[in-house]
Structure 1
Amino acid sequence: MAKASKLDKTLKSVAKGLPIDIGLSEKERATVTAELSKMLADSYTLYLMTHNFHWNVTGPLFNTLHQMFMDQYTESWQALDSIAERIRALGNYAPGTYAEYARLSSIAEPTSVPTAEEMIEMLVKGNEAVCRTARAALKKADSVSDEPTVDLLTQRLDIHEKNAWMLRSLLQ
């Protein structure tokens, strides 16, 4: 019973808005969150585009592209959770609607089903856009010594640079 009562006190403290004291000010956390929200929006938009292309790719490279797109969207799906959870750890709510993602994202979505080659080109550009967004967010996080966010963004940058390179290699 003592454990339940201690847990109840903890939950009440959280519910009352126990201040976050992780060594970053509210302003610093808000600044990093704004950048992470753009990263989440770009990442989600790229995820959705990659999954769409996985479903709709045709042509002589069907098997190769179908599998590559699945590998990429599956990895991206896992990353979305990490980005959103980092926003929450910083004490803010993560954007989670198509409207918010459309407003925050720098990636243009296709309006029709492109050819396989156009899909590859769009995914190269999408991965590169995520890289640019990650670099901007990384600079903000680094400027306030937010090492966990820097680490997360460094990992994302590595993956999206590699994805862009692999996709680009298909066009040569």
Structure 2
Amino acid sequence: MKTAIGITDAHRQAVADVLSKILADETVLYIKTKNAHWNIEGADFYDKHKFFEAQFGQLDELIDNVAERIRSIGHYAPATMKSYLSLTQLTEVTGQRNDSKGFITELLEDHQSIITALREHIKSFANDFHDAGSSDFATGLMETHEKMAWFLRAHLK
């Protein structure tokens, strides 16, 4: 059955394409946060192990929400690592040591990159594609990433 939600097919496709990139970024960041959780070393191991666990839990929920948003506008969500790596703006390569500062710095940079991209998408969803729902959705994602980035940044002070 046709998706008739007041957004043209072309605009829904454009929004789904952007959301697929966001989904890829969220998934790569999730994996990188899992890496930090699993491989953290140092005197603060337990504290940071738990901290990263809380962060990847939040990202898991975001991933599901993004995929469901893609489905709700009538498209299929990408669901392979190959597709995520081709769509993401992030890199999965880590150059840091397995300590708190290295992991936190890298994850913070990724969150900030996602925040910057989301800020632009908020405008284009509403203005270019006439999709207030996806604009509002992206605003919520951005706010979540801003809070997660704040928590990461606070550890670097």
| TM-score, scaled relative to structure 1 | 0.84
Q: Which aligned pairs between 1:14-163 and structure 2 lie closer than 5 A?
A: 18-111=1-94, 114-116=97-99, 117-143=101-127, 144-163=129-148
Mapped contact 1:35–1:140 kept (Cα < 8 A): no
Mapped contact 2:96–2:106 kept (Cα < 8 A): no
Compare 156-165 and 22-31 and name the one that shifted more. Answer: 156-165
**Residue aligned with 1:99, SS:** helix
Q: Deviations over 1:49-91 (max 9, x none)?
A: 0011101101122122111111110011011111011111111
AA partner of residue 46 (structure 2): N
Runs of 4+ in 1 over 3 A off after TM superposition: none
Deviation at 1:130, TM superposition (A): 1.5
The runs of 5 or more residues in structure 1 that have no matched partner are 1-17
Q: Where does residue 170 of structure 1 map in the other structure? A: 155
Q: Deviations over 1:2-44 (max 9, x none)?
A: xxxxxxxxxxxxxxxx221100000110111111111100000
| TM-score, scaled relative to structure 2 | 0.91
- Work out the CA distance in 2 between the residues paired with 1:93 and 1:47: 20
Mapped contact 1:36–1:137 kept (Cα < 8 A): no
Deviation at 1:115, TM superposition (A): 2.7
Mapped contact 2:96–2:102 kept (Cα < 8 A): no
Q: Where does residue 14 of structure 1 map in the other structure? A: none
